[in-house]
Structure 1
Amino acid sequence: MTTLATLNKFKKDGVKFTCLTCYDAMFARMMDKALIDTILIGDSLGMVVQGHTSTLPVTVNDMAYHTANVARSNQHALIIADLPFMSYVTLPEAIVNSRQLMQAGAHVIKLEGGSELCELVTILAQAGTPTCVHLGLTPQSVNVFGGYKIQGRGDSAAAKLLADAQAVVAAGAALLVLECVPAELAKAVTETVDVPVIGIGAGADTDGQVLVMHDMLGMAHGRVPRFVHDFLTDERNTTHSIEGAFALYQQSVRGGSFPTEQHQFS
């Protein structure tokens, strides 16, 4: 079973690890066979499962339902679950909602934001609830950003992101996710903090990589983000199967062949 101690050892030893989104028992079972290291029950389910145009309509009950589905079939991966939009504005509701996801089967709770999360991160850590803080392009703030845009470009933006990363780690965050930030900045954050950093569109120097399952199976609708690779139709997937795609992703991240420069931003 993968634990936070496992991921910390991976970071120390320079071993890259994998994360994929997952929303149900069947795909969790397939990821188990492929030895995917961590599973994210992402609020991305709002778009890829529920058909919404953003993650904003997803509720805590939605997240708990899908977390429980995944947990029933998972034997190997560390499970990370998103607290959805507006579910952690106040400390009391954040605590109640985190408890609901942990009781549904999550091992780590993911939050989007920066240094403003420090008090919550500390309180949850003291209560035995590890957190993963999501920095960079945070989909729950898409209306603030004015769309899905690269974050951390320019000296001031990069300095703020690095400072936020250091602050939440000092407050007790167990993991970080960096989404759509320049590869050089992601490398600097990864080297600066002493907790594992998971990247998506953040270059090859983060400790781990995450993709939305539907994207890496070639099921993305509309414009495909540059950080996505279709592992299902990749010629190296000799079984031409979903399980083969998961296994190829695991091998590619661990072996350093994914991501490449074409999947990152400068």
Structure 2
Amino acid sequence: MPEPLWGGSPSKLLAFLDCPRRYRMQYLDRPSPEKRRPRAHTSVGIAVHNALRDWWDLPRPTPEDAARLVDRAWIDVGFRDAEQSRRWRERMREAVTAYLRDAGPVARPVGIERTVSLLSDDLRLQGRVDRLDDRDGELVVVDYKTSRSVPTDDDARTSLPLALYAAAVWKMFRRPVRRVELHHVPTGTVAVHEHTAESIGRHVERARSIMRDARRADADFARHGTGSELFPVVTGPLCGWCDLRAHCPEGRAAAPERSDWAALEDD
């Protein structure tokens, strides 16, 4: 009998690649270990993404409308205090408004938070694209970023999720998709890469390689449970940010826990 398809998402693949133990706790352990509460930078990112999504639903949207949408979407969780939340809400109001104003007139995207799927041999992936543009007949994958670090063209080139989204859109729409972009909303920076069919194929093969390792580990977990040795912990500075560190003694020993607001640049 053929092996069943392994279903997942780009984030699931990267979770296994970054730390197999975190992958196991997040996707396999039942009951699922309790995660820590969301951090402030997560609240900021969700609010900005939701505001940019809802902006396209307005009858005649203007950049200034975005400020009101940020207010409506704001999540007051993870901040040091009410003043920090207020300051960041004002900052994101200005950033989203400036981002839309600087972009100039843009045709309505063909996809807004569009779910896309990729089926390739034994690989089955599903993910969500922030925005899918049609620019003079060419489809472009756009991903919004709100992190402190400003993405570069090299980040767009090496991004596994962006390449997999391009491959999925290419198959779903039966149109070549080569251009992928990372839009850093706080600075208005746009990181760009023009893929080829070959470069997208290399990313798909990389995803397939990770998937096969994850599938072997999944099968071993089904036999041995948490006793499986195929989910080693990977420790490092990122352990200070892990949402599941409370359940990982090695992770707690590797790095001190970062505060809920540690990723905000003025702290």
The structure whose RCO (Cα within 8 Å, separation 6+) is larger is 2
With the shorter chain as reference, the TM-score category is: under 0.3
Larger Rg: 2
Q: TM-score with structure 2 length normalisation?
A: 0.26
